Amino acid sequence: MINFCKLFKFSKIVVPFLFIILLTYREHICRTNSEYISWDSNVQKRFPTAIIIGSQKCGTSVLLHYLSFHPSIASNKYLETHFFDSVQNNSITGYNSYLRKVPFSKKGQITLEKSPNYFYRPEVPQLVHDYQKYLQVKLKFIIVVRQPLRRAVSHAFHSERHGKLKITNLTEVLLEPKNHYVRTSLYGKNLKSWLNFFSPDQFLILDGEKLARENPVKTLQPVEKFLNIPTYFTEFDFFINTNKGFYCYRYLLFCFPTKTGHKKYPQNVTENGIQFLNSVFAEDLNLFSQLSGYYFDWMQN
């Protein structure tokens, strides 16, 4: 039988002792997203003022992970916040919930979040605009795009790997009216929705094809300029890993796993399907170029 009197006396000794240990090692125990939760008031949760809003399967995860190494940026490397595409009540209470989702930051750092579903969800621009009015800060948005048909194919097989789709005929999946994978690749249509609420100078648009094949510094330095933060990355910071086939960050020997990115798929789109989809994308890319002022070499079919 448990002797509760002895247990109570024991707890009176042990609990204060554990409390002393907790105070002594609080800097090591209290960690969130690899950021120490400091008792310094300069380290706290701050609302994001820069957001990577899309597009999915265009390299946004790679981009965010590299940017997380920048000392002027605080971000969740592995977590997509999905605040504006999952909440209905965009109130102060909701914003407090948003704050809980972001990492701690130091004074002078920019809090950056990534949720690539934001770009194509029609309700999100209005919600983000309301958030901007609440902050009274001009937000900055980063969009990564790539060749739209390749993006759609990648997205479809991504859904299959995660059990959301069973592909028996890839062409039929992509030719289905208003299907999710083609709709997400309509950059012009999606950007137009955002420009109804925000000015063009609030957007930086990056070439995901370039990010995949060239030294990442060529993509990261324009981001540094856009966010108005000190130049940190250099060409020497990255090296090509011949075994993996893409660039790695030298100082932390960081490389994405070999399963990241897929050059070959078990099915291809038929020639007729390619011609039809490229005609759809060509019209939208023309709109995208007119709205954004950007033109990439892969826009020419």
Domain of 132, CATH number, reads 3.40.50.300
- pLDDT interval class at 264 (50, 70, 90): confident
State the Cα–Cα distance between residues 67 and 65, nearest whole angstrom. Answer: 5
The whole model's pTM is what? 0.83
Strand pairing of 35-36 and 31-32? antiparallel
What mean pLDDT is predicted for residues 288-293?
A: 96
Contact predicate 141/53, CB 8 Å? yes
How many angstroms separate the Cα of 254 from the Cα of each of 21, 65, 245? 34, 10, 14
Domain count, the chain: 1
3 state SS of 6: helix
The reply to whether 1 falls in a domain is no
Gap between the terminal Cα atoms of the chain? 80
The reply to whether 129 falls in a domain is yes
Q: pLDDT value at position 247? A: 87
Query: Is residue 222 over pLDDT 90?
Result: yes
- Of 150 and 264, the structure prediction assigns the larger pLDDT to 150
Give the helix ranges, DSSP H, for the chain.
4-24, 26-29, 60-67, 92-101, 124-135, 148-161, 170-175, 180-184, 187-195, 208-213, 217-227, 271-292
The reply to whether 25 falls in a domain is no
If phi over 0 gives left and psi between -120 and 50 gives alpha, with beta otherwise, what is residue 223?
Answer: alpha
The reply to whether 69 falls in a domain is yes
Taking the alpha carbons of 185, 189, 191, 193 in that order, is the dihedral positive or negative? Answer: negative
State the Cα–Cα distance between residues 94 and 83, nearest whole angstrom. Answer: 9
The reply to whether 26 falls in a domain is no
The reply to whether 94 falls in a domain is yes
What mean pLDDT is predicted for residues 166-171?
A: 95
The reply to whether 66 falls in a domain is yes
Domain interval for residue 233: 45-299
State the Cα–Cα distance between residues 300 and 278, nearest whole angstrom. Answer: 10
Q: For the segment 78-135, what is each residue's pLDDT rounded down to a tens digit?
A: 788 999 988 655 566 689 889 999 999 999 999 999 999 999 999 999 999 999 999 9
Residues across the chain: 301
Q: What are phi and psi of 299, to 5 degrees?
A: -70, -20
The reply to whether 40 falls in a domain is no
**39-48: string of b/e by CB count within 10 Å (b at 16+)?**
eeeebebbbb
* pLDDT above 70 as % of the chain: 81
What mean pLDDT is predicted for residues 9-23?
A: 45
**255-284: string of b/e by CB count within 10 Å (b at 16+)?**
ebeeeeeeeeeeeebeeebeeebbebbeeb
